[in-house]
Structure 1
Amino acid sequence: MRKRFTAIGISLSALTALLLSTPSYAASPTPAAESQRIAKAMMPSYGWSPSSQFGCLVSLWNRVSRWSTTAGTPSGPYGIPRANPGKLMASAGPNWKTNARTQIKWGFGYIKKHYSTPCAAWSHYQSSGRY
C-alpha cells in the first residue's frame, strides 16, 4: 500500500494527516423534534399560522437538512436552513454553528424576505430543487 501512495507523490504519513484533518461533525446537539417545537412556537412572530405553514416548513427542512444544526460544512450550505455559506447565520447570533433557535431565526428571516411564507419556499423547492 505504501508504494501505491508514494507512486502518486503522497507519503503514507501525509495521507494520514490529510484524512485526520478532514472535518467531521457530531450529531446535532438539538434533536429534530425539539428544533421543530422551537420553530412552531416562533412562527406567529413572523406572521405565519402554524396550522397552515408548519407542515410545509417540516417538509422543506426535512429535505434539506433533516433538521440537523450541524448538517453540511460551515464554509458551504450549513445547518437546519442550509445557509450558504453557513457563516451568514452569524447575523442571527454568535452561536450559529450549533444553536437551533439561532438557525431557525435566520432561516425564517430568509424565507420571509425571499418567499414570504414557508409554503411558498417549499413550493419553490419542489419545482427547482433549491430555495
Structure 2
Amino acid sequence: MSRISVRGFAVASATAVTAVGAVTGVASGNTASSSDDAEATAAGATLLADIPAGAQAQVQTASLTQQADSQAIAADATAKKDAEESARKQAAKDAVAKQKAAEKAEQEAKERKEALKAASRSATRDASSFPTQSSYSVAEIQAMARQIVPADQFQCFSTIVDHESSWNYRADNPTSDAYGLMQALPGSKMSSAGADWATNPATQIKWGLGYMNDRYGSPCGAWDFWQSNNYY
C-alpha cells in the first residue's frame, strides 16, 4: 500500500470515528460537540475528495513497478555474482589443467631425450671390441673415439682431449699423477674400465666417457664446465 493510500485510509478512519462521535454527542444532548464533529467530518470528506480514485490506483501501480524493478536489480546482481564465481572456478580448473599438460610435455620430452641418448650409446662400440695393438696413431685413437662416443657428443669430447693431452694416450703429467688421454688423476682410477688402462686408448676413452656422463651428464656438459674452470 502506498503512502497516499495509507493516508487516505487513515483519513477515512478518522472521519468515521468523528462521525460516530458526532452521533453520540447528539444523542447525549451535547450540541456544541455535535457541531464541531460535523465540521471535522466535512473536512475529512474534503481530504478524501482531494485524492481521486484514479490517482490512488496510479500511485499503487507505480509502487508495484518500483518493487519489481528493485527485485530485477537484485536478481541481476545475484546472477552477476554467480557468473563471476563460476568464471573464477573455471579459470582455476584451466590453470591446473595447463600446469598438468606442461608437466606431462616436459616429462615426455625428457623421456624422448633419454631414449635418444640410450639409442646413441647402444649404437656405439664397446672398448673391448677393438683389437689390442702395441701402439696407436692419433688418427687411430680418434677413429676409436668416434665409434665409442655418441656422435652428438664427440666434438665436445674431442675438444677436452685436445686440451688435456693432444690425443696422446701415454701423456704423463710430470707434476702430478695425471695420465692418459683424459689426464685422469690419478691415472690408476681408469682401471675401473679395464686393467690395460695405461696402454689401451680404447679403455681410456671408455673411462673418460663414463666419467663425463656420471659427473656432468655428458661430454658437452663437461666441456661447459671446463670452459669456466679450465678443468673438468
Q: Do the two structures share a fold, i.e. TM-score over 0.5?
A: yes
- Aligned partners of 1:29 and 1:66: how far apart in 2? 16
- SS of 1:83's partner is coil
Q: Which runs of 5+ in 2 are unaligned?
A: 1-133
The secondary structure found in structure 1 opposite 2:178 is: coil
SS of 1:107's equivalent in the other structure is: helix
Q: Tell me the distance in 2 between the aligned counterparts of 1:33 and 1:121.
A: 23
Q: Distance in 1 between matches of 2:155 and 2:173?
A: 26
Q: Pick from 219, 222, 228 the counterpart of residue 118 of structure 1.
A: 219
Bigger radius of gyration:
2
| Gap runs ≥5 in structure 1 | 1-27
**Of 186, 189, 205, which aligns to 1:88?**
189
Normalised TM-score (structure 1) = 0.69
Distance 2:228 2:214 in 1: 19
Deviant stretches of 4+, over 6 Å: none
Q: What corresponds to 1:25 in structure 2? A: none
- How many residue pairs match? The answer is 98
Q: Do residues 35 (structure 1) and 141 (structure 2) align?
A: yes
Note the C-alpha offset of 1:73. 4.7
- Quick one: higher RCO (CA 8 Å, sep 6+), 1 or 2? 1
Q: Deviations over 1:67-108 (max 9, x none)?
A: 111111596110011110000011111111110011011111
What is the SS of the residue equivalent to 1:34? helix
Name the residue aligned to 2:169.
69
Distance 1:53 1:94 in 2: 26
Aligned CA-pair RMSD: 1.9
Q: Do the aligned residues in 2 keep the contact of 1:53 with 1:119 (CA within 8 Å)?
A: yes
Per-residue Cα deviation, 1:31-69 (whole angstroms, up to 9, x for no partner): 2221111111112xxxx3x1x211111111000011111
- Greater mean deviation of Cα atoms: 32-41 or 98-107: 32-41
Deviations 1:3-40 (A, max 9, x none): xxxxxxxxxxxxxxxxxxxxxxxxx9322221111111
Q: Within 5 A, what are the aligned runs for 1:15-34?
A: 29-34=135-140
Alignment of 1:101-112 (within 5 A): 101-112=202-213
Please report the TM-score for the alignment, with normalisation by the length of structure 2.
0.40
Counterpart for residue 24 of structure 1: none
Task: From 128, 133, 157, give the equivalent of 1:57.
Answer: 157
* Counterpart-to-counterpart distance in 2, 1:67 and 1:89: 16
Alpha-carbon distance between aligned partners in 1 of 2:137 and 2:218, rounded to the nearest angstrom: 24
Aligned-residue sequence identity (percent) comes to 42
